[in-house]
Amino acid sequence: MVEVINLTKMYGNKVGVKNVSFTAQKGEIIGFLGPNGAGKTTTMNVITGCKPATEGRVLIAGYDIAEKPLEAKKPLGYLPEIPPIYPELKVKSYLKFICGLKGVGREKRESHIGEIMELVKIMDVKDRVIKNLSKGYRQRVGLAQALISKPDVLVLDEPTVGLDPKQIHEMRSLIKSLGKEHTIILSSHILAEVSMVCDRVIIIKKGEIAAIDTPENLSKNMASAECFTAKIKGPAEKILPLIKEIDGVLSVKLDKDKNDSKPEYLSYIIENKKSIDVRTPLFFKLAGLGYPIYEMKSVPINLEDIFLQLTAEEKERAEVN
């Protein structure tokens, strides 16, 4: 449904994004993840035709957004970071206005608006003035306008920003359900949001793609280190330095969450170089000194670790988009 080909956007001599390429298939939720200023919003603006590309192409349903903007935008719904709402209008009146802009027939508008309001759960505020709504409801109204005319593609830029925890949970659940029928490109700097909602993740750094894969594969393939826990019988003050001496061990610490009940069986979190398996030398070293290992379990590296690793050199820069 969406194909981005060598997309570059310059602001004078400053790079917004450079050589960004990816595709999003029907029914797929793509997460665009990066620190503030990395180029997420610039990419969203070019994909939706709000800003022209300096180089490259964006195809939506086969139409080039620059060459055939009307055809390309017809199957597209867009929720910017700041929802494009008219605060002086009532919710239902505003959605009727959007129906007119998107070419929804008059005879279908009433039922269509009702269906959308039910979907995003704003039926109870349909007759209220938008400026009097909470941040969460205004965000839902913004999402409702993006869903008018049932677009095949949804582009959502930071859809949960400013929401409280309950509203964030509800918005994530709604986006996940929408992904069954829509292609969704979701921009966010919240790691949990991306890992919980998205099928694939694009990590962007300084305007360029640093990685693109499923959250699971990113965790599996891109980590430079591995982590596991070990439950060992013996005094921590002696076992900790012994583990640190083993070749390949990067760090070791007590797992405080699992050391409450039996103090003689202590659990340790051990991080080691990916290229070195330290479990065998760990077993023989501790067994030889009379400190038996009762359990060892692998701990997957999470998306947050990958994100921090890939963007470690990223310095805060002003958002140019």
The proportion of the chain whose per-residue pLDDT surpasses 70, expressed as a percent, equals: 89
- Decide the pairing of beta strands 183-188 and 29-33: parallel
Distance of alpha carbon 35 from alpha carbon 316, whole angstroms: 8
How are beta strands 293-299 and 225-233 bridged, if at all?
Answer: antiparallel
pLDDT: which is higher, 37 or 313: 37
Model confidence at 321: pLDDT above 50 = no
Tell me what the mean pLDDT of segment 16-39 comes to: 89
pLDDT on residue 291: 94
For the chain, state the CA radius of gyration: 25
Dist. CA 160–CA 81, nearest whole Å? 9
Residue 181 and residue 29: Cα distance in Å, rounded?
10
CA distance 159 to 173: 12
pLDDT above 90 coverage of the chain, percent:
56
Q: Extract the tokens encoding 216.
A: 């699971």
| Structure-token match 């022209």, residue found | 52
User: Sheet of 208-213: strands edge to edge?
Assistant: 76-79, 153-157, 183-188, 29-33, 200-205, 208-213
Structural domains in the chain, CATH included, are: 2-221 (3.40.50.300), 225-300 (3.30.70.3190)
Compute the average pLDDT of residues 103-115. 94
Q: What share of the chain is helix, strand, coil (3-state, %, to 5)?
A: 35, 30, 35
pTM of the predicted protein model: 0.71
Residue-wise pLDDT tens digits, 242-278: 999 999 999 899 987 666 555 678 999 998 887 788 9
